[in-house]
Structure 1
Amino acid sequence: MSIYSKILVVADINHDEQPALARAIQLAQKSTSTSKVTFFLSIYDFSYDMTSMLSIDERDAMRRGVIHQREQWMRKVAEPYVCDGIEFDVKVVWHNRPYEAIIAEVFAGSHDIVIKGTRKHDVLESVIFTPTDWHLLRKCPSPVLLVKNSDWPEDANIIASVHVGSENDTHIDLNDRMVEQLNSLSSRLNASPYLVNAYPVTPANITIELPEFDPTTYTDAVRGHHLTSMKALRQKHGYDEEKTIVEQGLPEDVIPEVAEKLNAAMVILGTTGRTGLSAVFIGNTAEHVIDKINCDVLALKPNGYVSPLDPQTAT
């Protein structure tokens, strides 16, 4: 089965232009099976619940009226994007926490991916991530694609930030998942795929504490290990060597630099939460990388990840 056949798109209530919906339709059009796109919005107005002059039935009727108005607006703004061959639906819910409503819909509808627009700073051209974005990155069980622009550039590049130096099963599995997603997205969006890996700089304190320590030999050994591991990954997935990049430095520095150099339209990141625990947080490295990337970002969770909002585990 092709990935992303059930797509949940979060509507941007502040604009008629819907870049997330544009990207969703792009992906759906390239699907090998019939795709369903659900255009979703969570709304809430505290005043409707606090109006003591109205009865419960009257408050419910007012809420239904607001929801109906939003549904009509969503269908109108979606018209330029929606096309034949794609199952399309609109859903509006009344909820005071948008990220909880989105994640609840992911579970209820078994959605393969959540696509949401991000805010672009007009002056610095940087992406500003909202609290809802961060909650989704940390807690959503499905992949989350944060979209910056509606227009997909010609001859685009997509990079996957793999972690090949680790022998941890979670990282190995996550690398494979990222490459699979990279292959599918590159094919659907007519883009060139790249694998990028950062390896650590030799700690300066080691050369001070151990005078006999040779930092050059150590650095060469670390680089050699990462190059060998990257070779194994690219050969496993049929990638040419020129499509792989191994650079020394922190991921939060290397990945944004490579993304800018390649003029990447999307970066795929793995977010390694503590699997099986309710208190799961996106890794600090991923947070730092995301803050510096000025293009679409796709965040993937490892297999075994359990969302703290999973209804089956909620108490």
Structure 2
Amino acid sequence: MSIYNNILVVANIDAEQQPALARAMQIGKKSKSPSKITFFLAIYDFSYEMTSMLSPDERNAMRAGVIHQREQWMNEVAEPYRDDDHIELDIKVVWHNRPYEAIISEVFAKDYELVIKTTRQHDLLESVLFTPTDWHLLRKCPCAVLLVKNHDWPEKGHVVVSVHVGSENEAHLELNHRMVEQAIDLSGRLDAELHLVNSYPITPPNITVELPEFDPTIYTDSVRGHHLKSMKALRQEYGIAEEQTIVEQGLPQDVIPKAVKDLGAGLVVLGTSGRTGLSAVFLGNTAENIIDEINCDVLALKPSGYVSPLDPHGS
């Protein structure tokens, strides 16, 4: 079953190239059912709001004129992509002073399954610089968020899924399955190889002092065995080969970036914090630390039951 068939693409008004739109079309073309892609832009010019010499009608007319100009530009950008009858491509421009709020409002209004946005890349440092809007989307958007770099997807690329197989928490287990299912769907569309990566904790160094009879080797072997067994069960459920799984000792923020680098992965799939309600403004320290250490596209998924602080129907 194809998962991403209703996609919102955020336009980058400051660039000629639109990698987010290109990636959306690449994903949409490989969908098993017709896809809808909306090319979206939120614009705002504070000077128009402060022009006291203009009447409200004149200000509205100026805003409408600016929106129309942007719509023309976006139609020109989208024109080369309108040759696929399998994909319905729409343009939408709104006047809003907070882009992330406009994006999330649109998600709630149209039930998008995926938001795709280009990240800023610093060529000199060869690193990705996430903007405040990026972080707001990662933390507050109710649907999956894909942040892409300004690059073409590599042939036979690799997708890394950061799973948490050692947990017995139902929310973690459910999120593992959602991440794997969506990554399988996305990997098929991008012609990529899927890899499941999991870390397990290092034995606390002070525990042998507190418990002299404690054998850290036996403990470590037991923990590793549990994680390997759990990983085997997860991969077998989805028919994933053993060589496409990695189980390493260490912190996720160390293990995941190393796997991404070693594989030359183009995309990492992360589950974000299970916090809901007002506390959902936090992405989760582990996910944030991983994102800070990687230089590739990021797909962030929320757990079931997540409630965005911007949900118009939330409490």
The TM tier, using the shorter chain, reads over 0.9
The question of 1:165 aligning with 2:148 is answered: no
Residue 172 of structure 2 aligns to a residue whose secondary structure is: helix
Shift of 1:237: 1.3
The SS at the match of 1:79 is helix
Q: CA RMSD in A?
A: 1.1
Aligned pairs for 1:212-231 (under 5 A) are 212-231=213-232
Q: Which residue of 1 aligns with 2:40?
A: 40
- Quick check: 2:171–2:274 contact (8 Å CA) kept in 1? no
Q: Which residue of 2 aligns with 1:12?
A: 12
After superposition, where does 1:268-279 map in structure 2 within 5 Å?
A: 268-275=269-276, 277-279=277-279
Aligned to 1:155: 156
Which whole-Å CA distance do the structure 2 matches of 1:284 and 1:243 have between them? 26
- TM-score when normalising by structure 2: 0.97
**Residue 29 of structure 2 is aligned to residue 29 of structure 1:** yes
Q: Who is 1:241 aligned against?
A: 242
> Distance between the aligned counterparts of 1:210 and 1:119, measured in 2?
50
Q: Which shows bigger deviation, 282-291 or 141-150? A: 141-150
1:104 Cα offset (Å): 0.3
Distance 2:44 2:181 in 1: 38
What are the residue-to-residue correspondences of 1:69-88 with 2, within 5 Å?
A: 69-85=69-85, 86-88=87-89
Give the secondary-structure state (helix, strand or coil) at the position aligned to 2:203.
coil
The alignment partner of 2:309 has SS state of: coil
Q: Quick one: distance in 2 between partners of 1:114 and 1:5?
A: 11
Q: Deviations over 1:163-219 (max 9, x none)?
A: 001010100000000110111011111111110001111111212222222111111
Q: Residue type of the partner of 1:36?
A: K
Paired positions, count: 313
Name the aligned partner's letter for residue 18 of structure 1: Q
Q: Distance in 2 between matches of 1:21 and 1:44?
A: 22
Distance 1:232 1:181 in 2: 18
Matching residue of 1:313:
314
Is residue 49 of structure 2 the alignment partner of residue 49 of structure 1? yes
Deviations 1:199-250 (A, max 9, x none): 1111112122222221111111111110011011111111111111100111
SS in 2 for 1:39: strand
* Match runs of 1:162-201 below 5 Å: 162-201=163-202
Between the aligned partners of 1:119 and 1:16, the Cα distance in structure 2 is 13
User: What TM-score comes out, normalization by structure 1 length?
Assistant: 0.97
In the TM superposition, 1:270-289 aligns within 5 A as: 270-275=271-276, 277-280=277-280, 281-289=282-290
Name stretches of at least 5 consecutive residues in structure 1 with no aligned partner. none
Gaps of 5+ in 2: none
SS of the aligned residue for 2:279 comes to coil
Residue equivalent to 1:67:
67
Does the aligned pair in 1 maintain the 2:274–2:302 contact within 8 Å? yes
Contact 1:272 1:301 in 2 (8 A): yes
**In structure 2, what is the equivalent of residue 300 of structure 1?**
301
In structure 1, what is the Cα distance between the partners aligned to 2:108 and 2:83? Answer: 26
